[in-house]
């Protein structure tokens, strides 16, 4: 029997998958999973999509089925907040005073919405509870104003329209998603929303709320990593908890994963913190393996997806909004792949209503090979062929 205790703070996707992986890898010591929400671990993407619209059940958001944590002898402390960590004594203390000694600790505390106090009565969407409230409040004939046209704001706009609400989407930049996608692709999303009847106000601040007479104002201006615990414990923090490629923090036997972790990325050769479902899904298990002493170097290409009306997309990589954009396919017909290129190399690719192309897109990014943009733009050759040549060229 193993007498070690592994503690995981944060029972979101990253934390829950880490707990699962510890057992899967044969760890027989104690696994303590601490979550401050009064819910079992769940996935957040449905909250702005089918769950918010009332099209799917609560259980479908759960990371694991009922009974999973008991069956796997995972001590799930539900509705408990971790208050402090003492990295010298290797202890963690909960709000109620209970203290756990740990042999290894994973911090997976995620992120929380940035607040805009100037918007009185503004609501936010992060949790199931928030989504339940929105489900109640958004309905046919209601006027919903959304401040911020990032991914969450844009998805809520789409869902609210689908729920029959009038929607005004207010954004400081000229077009939605400009910071991530740049002007051209942002304009694509603006046109999608406008064609669905959204009143889009670009280059606008919260003054635009005046006179709108909105029944509900939702604020979606991004999230901030939940670093309080780490900061208090003296861990190195810089745009999240700084970790190396093995997801180790600056303190011995303390790891971080998911939205809260700013990890050294061996492929991209810089620190990377992303707020993506797939990152939580894969980094949690990677951190668990690292806790077990396995050789881990987390180098997955960042990946996320978004669904708005009948426009589905997947995005791989990490581009700068100023990178050169190359379009392959039919932008107006809403079936295309956009590539972001820098110095002739593919930094990121976004496929919109085109599927099963993530592998070649990621192979192009990984290869770091120069690619002729005209080859990418033309559909004469398959993407697989172009990726194969890029990989061969790089080898």
Q: Which is nearer to ligand FAD, 85 or 170 (CB)?
A: 85
Binding track, positions 253-272, relative to ligand FAD; x by CB under 6 A: -----xx-------------
Size of interface with ligand FAD, in residues (CB under 6 A) = 36
Angle at 302 between CA 347 and CA 200, to 5 degrees: 80
Q: Which of residues 331-390 bind ligand FAD (CB under 6 A)?
A: none
Instruction: In whole angstroms, give the CA distance from residue 62 to residue 247.
Output: 25
CB of 258 within 8 A of CB of 284?
yes
With contact defined as beta carbons under 8 Å apart, do 277 and 304 qualify?
Answer: yes
The sign one gets for the Cα dihedral 255, 257, 261, 263 is positive
Contact between 150 and ligand FAD by CB under 6 A: the answer reads no
Q: Give the residue with the Cβ less far from ligand FAD, 308 or 367.
A: 308
Using CB under 6 A, pick the residue from 5, 6, 7, 10 that binds ligand FAD.
Answer: 10
State which of residues 14, 221, 288, 376 lies at the interface with ligand FAD (CB under 6 A). Answer: 14
Q: Which of 291, 278, 301 is nearest to 249 (CA)?
A: 291
187 in contact with ligand FAD (CB under 6 A): no
Residue 92: beta bridge partners?
Answer: 85, 100
Q: Which residues pair with 229 in a beta bridge?
A: none
- Classify residue 209 by its DSSP letter: G
CB of 80 to ligand FAD, least distance (A): 6
C-alpha–C-alpha distance, residues 355 and 336, integer Å: 10
Which residues inside 31-50 make contact with ligand FAD, applying CB under 6 A?
A: 34-37, 44-45, 47-48
Confirm or reject binding of residue 300 to ligand FAD (CB under 6 A): no
Q: Are 303 and 276 in contact (CB under 8 A)?
A: yes
The correct pick among 280, 288, 291, 348 for binding ligand FAD (CB under 6 A) is: 280
Positions touching ligand FAD (CB under 6 A) are: 9-15, 34-37, 44-45, 47-48, 81-82, 108-111, 125-126, 152, 226, 229, 258-259, 275-278, 280, 304-306
């Amino acid at each position: 029997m193993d007498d070690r205790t592994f503690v995981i703070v944060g029972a979101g996707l990253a934390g829950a998958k880490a707990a699962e992986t510890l057992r899967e890898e044969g760890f027989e010591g104690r696994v303590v999973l601490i979550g401050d929400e009064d819910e079992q671990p769940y996935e957040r993407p449905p909250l702005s999509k089918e769950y918010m619209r009332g099209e799917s059940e609560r259980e479908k958001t759960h990371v694991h089925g009922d009974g999973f944590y008991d069956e796997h002898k995972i001590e799930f402390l539900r509705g408990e907040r971790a208050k402090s960590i003492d990295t010298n004594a290797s202890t963690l203390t909960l709000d109620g005073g209970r203290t756990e000694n740990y042999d290894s600790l994973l911090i997976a505390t995620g992120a929380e919405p940035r607040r805009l106090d100037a918007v009185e009565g503004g609501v936010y969407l992060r949790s199931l509870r928030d989504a339940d409230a929105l489900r109640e409040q958004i309905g046919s004939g209601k006027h919903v104003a959304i401040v911020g046209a990032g991914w969450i704001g844009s998805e809520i706009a789409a869902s609210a329209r689908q729920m029959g609400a009038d929607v005004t989407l207010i954004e400081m930049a000229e077009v939605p998603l400009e910071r991530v996608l740049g002007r051209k692709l942002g304009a694509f999303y603006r046109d999608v929303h406008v064609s669905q009847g959204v009143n889009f106000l670009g280059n606008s601040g919260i003054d635009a709320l005046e006179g709108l007479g909105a029944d509900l104002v939702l604020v979606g201006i991004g999230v901030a990593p939940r670093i309080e615990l780490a900061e208090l414990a003296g861990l190195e923090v810089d745009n999240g908890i700084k970790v190396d490629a093995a997801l180790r923090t600056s303190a011995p036997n303390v790891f971080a994963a998911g939205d809260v972790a700013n990890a050294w990325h061996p492929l991209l050769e810089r620190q990377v913190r992303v707020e993506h479902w797939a990152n939580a899904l894969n980094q949690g298990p990677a951190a668990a393996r690292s806790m077990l002493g396995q050789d881990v170097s987390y180098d997955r290409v960042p990946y996320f997806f978004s669904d708005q009306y009948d426009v589905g997309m997947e995005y791989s990589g990490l581009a700068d909004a100023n990178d050169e954009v190359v379009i392959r396919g039919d932008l107006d017909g809403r079936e295309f792949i956009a590539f972001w290129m820098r110095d002739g190399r593919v930094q990121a690719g976004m496929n919109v209503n085109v599927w099963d192309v993530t592998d070649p897109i990621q192979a192009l990014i990984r290869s770091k090979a120069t690619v002729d943009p005209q080859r990418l733009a033309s559909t004469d050759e398959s993407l697989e062929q172009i990726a194969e040549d890029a990989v061969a060229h790089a080898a």
